[in-house]
């Protein structure tokens, strides 16, 4: 009996091997396409996550300062000459020229600041300040009763005067066409500033009226960080830009910590003062180093002490306190910080002081520009949205005609 016929197509062995290899290649290609698709999806996801991360990063804008020493030198020379010729009267106009120059050369996000103050208002404030300062300085020389009366007058008028000066300064500063402002009330000014003024005047009053003036000096020293923090909180919490208000997070403990750490620099400055005075006295043959032979020598010693302490401790305090104050300041969704550091500021101050002394004061305008450039260009403004979008949403604050008239009639500035 024969073998039954085979049904279907007969596949030779070598053809079967070829088909299997082709199927494997097809399967491998399919798997590669699938992997490529998955990698494409992963890359797209990574790009989306990267874009989201970039969107979540805060927008940081730095300030720039374009002032030049040679330009400001000409302004400074004219201001100084006219102030001397007019016995100080032109100092108000000099203050306006200086403030306008520095603000108009400060740029943030492509826009400059501006200053709109009137010299007459500044002159009015300086006359008041001069009268009060003269009375406070000399009345104790005539009688204690007159001195106490002058101190009482300063304590009574001081909070209102300082509030009006702050209102004048901010209300006459603008950015992107909108004015800054200061919304403090008179009652708040007296509650906040009266203790500060009383503590500030306490050492002088104690020295004039009692034999325990060291107690007053000690109380003033211990309260100095508290006084500084209280003033900064008052200034920042009541400032505004357009219809938006600034805020300030208290940091009293940090103020005390910075002041405590800076005592070392003050002691270093004191040691340098003692060494300089002893060396000068030994060269001149004085038996007692700190015995001044005239009022001029006493004034020179005092100025030298102040200069050395300023150079030794001033940059540390300025850098650390600015870092703290700006980090606690907000304007709605806008945050502030400064990258100022104590060591670069110290080197800059040493250079400025040395060149100012060598040039007998002629380097002063260049030193002012250099210090302003460093402090301004260390500032950073951070926000979740572009600063232009946030600033565009700020509206001008509503001020009545009565309020504008009062600001014009009673507003003044000490020009400090």
Q: Is residue 6 part of a domain?
A: no
- For 224-238, give the DSSP string: HHHHHHHHHHHHHHH
Domain identity same for 225 and 204? yes
Residue 251: strand, helix, or coil: coil
Q: How many domains does the chain have?
A: 2
Per-residue model confidence (pLDDT) at position 214: 83
* Average pLDDT for 302-313: 82
Question: Do 129 and 215 sit in the same domain of this protein?
Answer: yes
Does a structural domain hold residue 34? no
Q: 201-205, 302-306, 353-357, 404-408: which has the highest mean pLDDT?
A: 353-357
Average pLDDT rounded to a whole number, residues 167-181: 92
Q: For residue 414, what pLDDT is reported?
A: 43
Q: How confident is the model at residue 292 (pLDDT cuts 50, 70, 90)?
A: low
- Residues 261 and 239 both lie in one domain: no
Q: Are 15 and 21 in contact (CB under 8 A)?
A: no
Tell me what the mean pLDDT of segment 43-68 comes to.
71
Residue 23: count of CB within 10 angstroms of its CB: 10
pLDDT of residue 6: 47
pLDDT reading at 116 higher than 60: yes
Residue 1 lies in a domain: no
Q: What is the mean pLDDT of residues 183-200?
A: 94
Q: Are residues 318 and 217 in the same domain?
A: no
- The predicted structure's pLDDT at residue 93: 95
54: pLDDT strictly greater than 70: no
Name the pTM for this structure: 0.79
Sign of the CA dihedral with 12 first, then 17, 22, and 27 last: positive
d(C-alpha 24, C-alpha 20), whole Å: 6
Considering only residues 173 and 1, tell me which one the structure prediction assigns the higher pLDDT.
173
Residue 304's pLDDT band, with cuts at 50, 70 and 90, is: confident
Q: Are residues 268 and 364 in the same domain?
A: yes
Domain carrying residue 321: 254-390
| The pLDDT value given to residue 137 | 84
Q: Are residues 213 and 320 in the same domain?
A: no
Residues 316 and 354 in one domain: yes
Does 270 lie in the same domain as 244? no
Decide: helix, strand or coil at residue 413: coil
Is 93 a member of any domain? no
Long-range pairs, 107-114, Cβ under 8 A, ≥24 = 107/63, 107/64, 107/65, 107/66, 108/61, 108/63, 108/64, 108/175, 108/381, 108/387, 109/61, 109/381, 109/387, 109/388, 109/391, 111/175, 111/176, 112/175, 113/173, 113/174, 113/175, 114/173, 114/174, 114/175
Residue 307 confidence class, pLDDT cut points 50, 70, 90:
confident
Q: What is the pLDDT of residue 126?
A: 86
Q: What is the pLDDT of residue 411?
A: 42
Residue 198 has pLDDT above 80, yes or no: yes
Among 158-167, 314-323, 382-391, 397-406, name the most confident range. 314-323
Instruction: Give the pLDDT band (50/70/90) at residue 101.
Output: very high
What are the tokens at 233?
């909180």
Same domain (yes/no): 224, 281:
no
Inter-axis angle of helices 119-142 and 144-171, nearest 10:
160
Q: In this predicted structure, what is the pLDDT of residue 403?
A: 39
What pLDDT digit, counting tens, does each position of 69-80 carry? Answer: 999 999 999 999
263 is a domain residue: yes
Beta bridge mates, 112: 107
Question: 322 is written with which tokens?
Answer: 């600015």
Evaluate whether 399 touches 108 at the Cβ level (below 8 Å). Answer: no
Same domain, 222 and 188: yes
Q: Is 258 inside a domain boundary? A: yes
Asked if 224 and 334 sit in the same domain, the reply is no
* Per-residue pLDDT, 37: 53
Work out the percent of the chain whose per-residue pLDDT is above 70.
75
How many angstroms separate the Cα of 405 from the Cα of each of 55, 241, 365, 399, 400? 46, 20, 36, 10, 9
Residue 270 forms part of a structural domain: yes
Q: CA of 125: how far to CAs of 89, 99, 105, 121, 161, in Å?
A: 12, 16, 26, 6, 8
Query: Residue 391: what pLDDT?
Result: 66
Q: Following DSSP, what letter does each residue of 365-409 receive, concatenated?
A: HHHHHHHHHHHHHTEEEEESS-HHHHHHT--PPP--HHHHHHHHH
Q: Which residues contact 145 (CB under 8 A, 6 or more apart)?
A: none
The verdict on residue 357 lying in a domain is yes
Are residues 218 and 268 located together in one domain of the fold? no
159 vs 165: CA distance, rounded Å: 10
- Highest mean pLDDT, choosing among 246-260, 274-288, 377-391, 399-413: 246-260
């Amino acid at each position: 009996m024969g073998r039954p016929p085979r049904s279907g197509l007969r596949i030779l062995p070598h053809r079967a091997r070829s088909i299997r290899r082709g199927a494997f290649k097809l399967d491998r290609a399919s798997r590669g396409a699938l992997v490529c698709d998955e990698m494409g999806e992963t890359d797209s996801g990574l790009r989306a996550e990267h874009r989201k991360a970039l969107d979540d990063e805060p927008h940081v804008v730095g300030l720039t300062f374009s002032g030049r020493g040679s330009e400001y030198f000409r302004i400074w020379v004219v201001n100084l000459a006219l102030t001397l010729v007019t016995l100080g009267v032109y100092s108000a106009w000099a203050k306006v020229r200086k403030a306008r120059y520095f603000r108009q050369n400060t740029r943030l996000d492509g826009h400059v600041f501006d200053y709109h103050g009137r010299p007459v208002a500044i002159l009015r404030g300086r006359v008041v300040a001069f009268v009060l300062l003269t009375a406070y300085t000399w009345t104790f020389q005539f009688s204690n009763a007159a001195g106490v009366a002058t101190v009482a007058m300063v304590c009574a008028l001081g909070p209102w005067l300082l509030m009006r000066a702050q209102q004048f300064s901010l209300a006459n500063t603008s950015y992107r066409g909108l004015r800054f402002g200061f919304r403090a009330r008179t009652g708040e000014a007296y509650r906040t500033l009266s203790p500060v003024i009383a503590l500030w005047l306490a050492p002088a009053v104690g020295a004039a009226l009692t034999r325990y003036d060291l107690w007053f000096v000690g109380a003033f020293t211990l309260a100095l960080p508290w006084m500084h923090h209280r003033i900064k909180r008052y200034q920042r919490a009541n400032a505004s830009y357009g219809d938006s208000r600034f805020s300030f997070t208290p940091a009293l403990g940090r103020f005390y910590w910075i002041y405590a750490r800076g005592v070392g620099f003050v002691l270093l400055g004191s040691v340098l003062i003692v060494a300089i005075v002893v060396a000068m006295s030994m060269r001149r043959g004085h038996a007692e180093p700190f015995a001044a032979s005239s009022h001029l020598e006493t004034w020179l010693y005092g100025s030298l002490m102040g200069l050395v302490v300023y150079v030794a401790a001033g940059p540390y305090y300025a850098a650390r306190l600015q870092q703290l104050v700006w980090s606690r300041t907000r304007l709605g969704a806008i945050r502030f910080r400064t990258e100022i550091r104590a060591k670069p500021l110290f080197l800059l101050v040493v250079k400025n002081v040395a060149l100012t002394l060598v040039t007998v004061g002629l380097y002063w305008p260049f030193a002012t520009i250099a210090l302003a450039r460093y402090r301004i260009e260390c500032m950073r403004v951070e926000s979740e949205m572009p600063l232009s979008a946030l600033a565009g949403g700020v509206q001008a604050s509503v001020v009545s005609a009565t309020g504008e008239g009062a600001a014009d009639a009673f507003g003044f500035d000490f020009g400090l």
